[in-house]
Chains A and B, each alone.
Chain A
Amino acid sequence: MPAPIVHFENVRKTYQMGPVTVQALRGVTFEIHAGDYISIMGPSGCGKSTLLNLLGCLDRPTSGHYRLGGEDVSQMNDDALSAVRGARLGFVFQSYNLIQQLTVVENIEIPLYYQDRPEAQSRAMACRMAARVGLEQRLDHKPFELSGGQQQRVAIARALVNEPLVILADEPTGNLDSASGTEVMKLFDELHNQGKTLILVTHDPGVGQRAHRTLRLRDGEIESDVRR
């Protein structure tokens, strides 16, 4: 078996809220391999978002180690983490998080912008990604001119454009009606079939079932790790 892409080793995260210490994650250990399609589920407040923020290098663990693509990122400084996010991770958010004043293609380009790619090259890649999610007709539209499903597809294109090791999605269907939600999930299935590594956090058991592996959290600990 090849080395895992994501390796969490006894990761803890505690928040200090005045005198109260909240243990959001209490020693989490797991591995994710290239091509895995994983859902993270659990009741509200169990630590899903905390885990996803750590996976996304938006935050650092209080203790433990996180190796991403063989590199320990748990104690990197802010600049290095930014570089890791820009080069190796793709994000899909519940509320799409597109920048409203930029067009579709410009939104897709953002990760490349911070990679200092030549402009023509990033424009071409962004167009290719837009075509891949079926939005080649909407390149110069602003986000508010698109439906929720279309906006989420833009976000997915943006998450793909820098060819990340892992794509992280936080409730990607949470704001969508069931038809658009199904469409987005189909897209995820396709990506999985093309060999992408996907991690998605969800409440929706229907969505969670599509993944081939489900991590279930409870009170900051892994309750179960089921493969299908």
Chain B
Amino acid sequence: MSEDNFMVALGDAFRGLSFVRLKRAVRLGVRSLWLHRLRSLLTMLGIVFGVCSVIAMLAIGEGASYEAQESIKTLGSQNIILRSVKPPEEQKPSDKGNQSFVLQYGITYADVKRIRATIPGVTVVLPGRNIREYVWNISRRMDCELFGTVPWYPEMRNHRVAAGRFFTDNDMDEQRSVCVLGAEIAPALFPIDSPLGRHVRVGGNYYQVIGIMEPRTVVAAKDAGAEANKSSLPRLYIPLETAKLRYGEVLMRRRQGSFEAERVQLHEVTIKVETLENVLSVAEAIKEVLERNHKKKDYMIDIPLEMLRQAERTKQIFNIVLGSIAAISLLVGGIGIMNIMLASVTERTREIGIRRALGARRRDIIVQFLVETVILSGAGGALGVLLGVIIPFVVSYAAGMKTIITFWSPVLAFGISALVGIVFGIYPAIRAAQMDPVEALRHE
């Protein structure tokens, strides 16, 4: 069949195609497919699986990346987070006998002062100190992390107070013994009544509970990078000045029979940059300042914005990979359909001859077979969409994963499957139409 014939035949197929005739062709197609139910179903499966896996995988991927992005956003995309990290092993105090036994590392108040003084565009600085302690309510105990911080913590880290209030400048200045419970602590220590107004004991000190924080998602802690190392522990928030008063700047830890002392001024500092565009350049500047003043690499810089960008890039790559898989599976499905349709055309040569003798034009034959492939791939696509929408629900129910079905993914998947039907149906249909009626009638 020449290229020319092909295009002419194709053009003809749709000229003068009345709605009535199309409707009849669809009915005829459905019947002929129904006659070979099993074969039609098996042929459809390629498309069903292709479409369904695309939608389901996209939904799962979308859900995962949404959660990652949300958790990064809670860190604040305008924020830069500095963390103190214990420098590598060789700098253990025991190696340097003549020096003090106190290991000193991390971000200092001086660092914060320098950053504020030298780098423009920095608005708020949020320091924080971590102390690991048991928190008691009479006989109930919980392994927690005391987090000494400043009153503007909730606002800056998008972490809201669920009940009561956060501590104020007053609490801070007067070094009051007040605390705000992390969401996990309240039910653990106060299973029956509200903890608000009650007291918890940490070491020898009592703190009055003035508020309870909203929960943060587990994923949030995980994806926030370094935060995961420490913050799988529930947090008890106390004013930074109170923490300084209670714990000084040297932390003593008893470990396997020996003492280990650490001096860390600030465990965590969050720096808010005035405008989003400046975040990356300010981060560079901070890196320089810290590098100049720290001989050891005893700090880490997390830039949520960069993590967000990274997450977006990852998602893009994921989508490209998915798209390729989808294209391949639909291609395979399409080839399957074409294969069956070619067999069907051969099998029905006699019928084609009869129809041609009784007045069917070439285009009528083309439409008849094309409609069949489009119904096959369309039904396969619809079934695939249905499964592809159900599977994410099952996954999120069974595995507790978040899944998001974007509006366009079923539409796109269905559209492509219908297109596959047309593309792979055209060749068999034209083969059927190009048959010589005399030959076709003689066919056994």
Q: Nearest residue in B to A158 (C-beta to C-beta)?
A: B358
Chain A 174-194: CB-based contact to B (< 8 A → 1; otherwise 0): 000000000000000000000
Q: Nearest residue in A to B25 (C-beta to C-beta)?
A: A113
Is the CB–CB distance between A56 and B358 below 8 Å? no
* With known contacts A53-B438, A97-B441, A110–B355 Cβ distance under 8 A: yes
> Is B111 positioned at the interface, with any CB of A under 8 Å from its CB?
no
Considering only CB atoms and an 8 Å cut-off, how many residues of chain A contact the other chain? 26
Is the CB–CB distance between A111 and B359 below 8 Å? yes
> Is B246 positioned at the interface, with any CB of A under 8 Å from its CB?
no
Q: Nearest residue in B to A50 (C-beta to C-beta)?
A: B438
* With known contacts A53-B438, A58-B437, A116-B21, A111–B12 Cβ distance under 8 A: no
> Is B360 positioned at the interface, with any CB of A under 8 Å from its CB?
yes
> Is A21 positioned at the interface, with any CB of B under 8 Å from its CB?
no
Measured CB to CB, the closest approach of chain B to A80, in angstroms, equals 9
Considering only CB atoms and an 8 Å cut-off, how many residues of chain B contact the other chain? 25
A111 to B360 Cα, complex, angstroms: 8
| CB proximity to A under 8 Å, residues B24-42 | 24, 31-32, 35
Measured CB to CB, the closest approach of chain B to A89, in angstroms, equals 8
Measured CB to CB, the closest approach of chain A to B13, in angstroms, equals 12
Is the CB–CB distance between A85 and B359 below 8 Å? yes
* With known contacts A97-B441, A101-B32, A113-B24, A83–B361 Cβ distance under 8 A: yes
For A83, list chain B residues within 8 Å (CB).
359, 361
A188 to B438 Cα, complex, angstroms: 24
Chain A 49-93: CB-based contact to B (< 8 A → 1; otherwise 0): 000010010110000000000000000001100110111000101
> Is B354 positioned at the interface, with any CB of A under 8 Å from its CB?
yes
Is the CB–CB distance between B354 and A99 below 8 Å? yes
> Is A144 positioned at the interface, with any CB of B under 8 Å from its CB?
no
Is the CB–CB distance between A97 and B359 below 8 Å? no
Is the CB–CB distance between B362 and A79 below 8 Å? yes
For A86, list chain B residues within 8 Å (CB).
358-360
B residues contacting A by CB (< 8 A) are 12, 18, 20-21, 24, 31-32, 35, 350-351, 353-364, 437-438, 441
A-B contact pairs, 12 of them (CB 8 A): A53-B438, A56-B357, A58-B437, A59-B438, A78-B362, A79-B12, A85-B359, A99-B351, A101-B31, A110-B354, A116-B18, A162-B359
Given contacts A82-B362, A114-B364, 17 further A-B contacts (CB under 8 A): A58-B437, A58-B441, A79-B12, A79-B361, A82-B359, A82-B361, A85-B357, A97-B441, A99-B354, A101-B32, A110-B358, A110-B359, A111-B359, A113-B24, A114-B355, A114-B358, A116-B21
A residues contacting B by CB (< 8 A) are 53, 56, 58-59, 78-79, 82-83, 85-87, 91, 93, 97-99, 101, 110-111, 113-116, 119, 158, 162
The 10 residue pairs across chains A and B that have the minimum distance between CB atoms: A86-B359, A114-B359, A82-B361, A111-B358, A58-B437, A110-B358, A97-B354, A79-B361, A58-B438, A85-B359
